[in-house]
Structure 1
Amino acid sequence: MARAALEAARAQQAERGRTGPRRAVRRGTGTDPARRRRRGWSGPGADDRDPQPLGRVASRLSAQRGWAPNLANGSVFGRWAELVGAEVAEHATPTALRDGELTVQADSTAWATQLRLLQRQLLGRIAAGLGDGVVKGMRIHGPSAPSWRRGPRHVSGRGPRDTYG
């Protein structure tokens, strides 16, 4: 039954005079998408209507909307341990990224000093992982000093210095 249908289709094609090879149809070359003729199926060639990988669609959308720099900035925070290494990430966390300057909070003064010494290597690693220009400089802070403004026995004034004079 299937062979008979195939033979009938070949016979109809031969009657119309199409016995040679089909000519190539170029897809997606029209300038106005509204004027292009829509087909019911896309065929074996590439077409605008074919499914696209999600990553490609997301990157195209972020580039069109101007979100690419913000996504690169966010990836510094998301991939921090991967970019700088597990040991550094254990003792330092990024807190802010503004105008290419990354602010990093270290958990001790010794680690803050060590990060200042490793600053060039860390900037190189970040540039290799995310691209040049995402992070241009680093500002490294140690732990904050205790505040004299807290506590149950706080007295307004200059604090412990006002007893000297």
Structure 2
Amino acid sequence: MRMSDPADDLPETVVTYLRLRGLPPSARRLKRRRRREDDENQPFTAGRDPRGLGEVITSLTREAGWEGRLSQEDLVLRWADIAGAETAQHAAPVALSEGMLTVQCDSTAWAKNLQFIRSAILTRIVTELPEAGITGIRFIGPDVPSWKWGPRAIPGRGPRDTYG
């Protein structure tokens, strides 16, 4: 009795192709389309209703992980509401790194006075924008030239009478 050869079930063209490629006729794998149960493609199922644009954008920002960064941008845009209108005229956020918000003031007097109300401003930021990840605020005075460059600057008295 002769055993069934897998090549008997295949068309001659497929058998010839497999022999030319140097493969045994049993090497052919038949692809079968599996029918998936896709609820989103079925009519009248949950989740098929149109959603509002705000809901779509909210889910997109949540899935992409943009909530923290967008909340930090909101902090800059809403600085006058959070810190107060008069404070915003004399101080503006300039940097944010590792949870530390740096605010530059018009004068050192404003910087010193804002240090006294730092906790009130920080509390308001944390309650209104918790996703921003702000853990501290640093107030600095007006930008003045410095001889210290970069994070690895060494302490010292700086340049002396070196200009001849």
State the SS of the aligned residue for 1:74: helix
In 2, the alpha carbon distance for the partners of 1:49 and 1:36 equals 6
CA contact under 8 A between 2:90 and 2:105: conserved in structure 1? yes
The TM-score with structure 1 as length reference comes to 0.61
What is the aligned-residue RMSD (CA, Å)? 2.6
Residue 34 of structure 1 is matched in structure 2 by 38
In 2, the alpha carbon distance for the partners of 1:109 and 1:129 equals 28
Structure 1 residue 53, shift from structure 2 partner = 2.0
In 2, the alpha carbon distance for the partners of 1:33 and 1:132 equals 37
Identity %: 41
In 1, the alpha carbon distance for the partners of 2:70 and 2:80 equals 17
Change (3 A) 1:90 1:162: same
Change (3 A) 1:37 1:104: closer
**In the alignment, structure 1 residue 144 sits paired with structure 2 residue 143:** yes
Change (3 A) 1:124 1:162: same
* Structure 1 gaps, min length 5: 1-31, 149-157
Structure 1 residue 147, shift from structure 2 partner = 6.7
Structure 1 residue 110, shift from structure 2 partner = 0.9
Change (3 A) 1:96 1:33: farther
Task: Give a deviation string over 1:71-124, Cα, whole Å, max 9, x none.
Answer: 111111111111111111111000111111101000111110111111001101
In 1, the alpha carbon distance for the partners of 2:39 and 2:50 equals 22
- Runs of 4+, deviation exceeding 3 Å: none
In 1, the alpha carbon distance for the partners of 2:90 and 2:38 equals 57
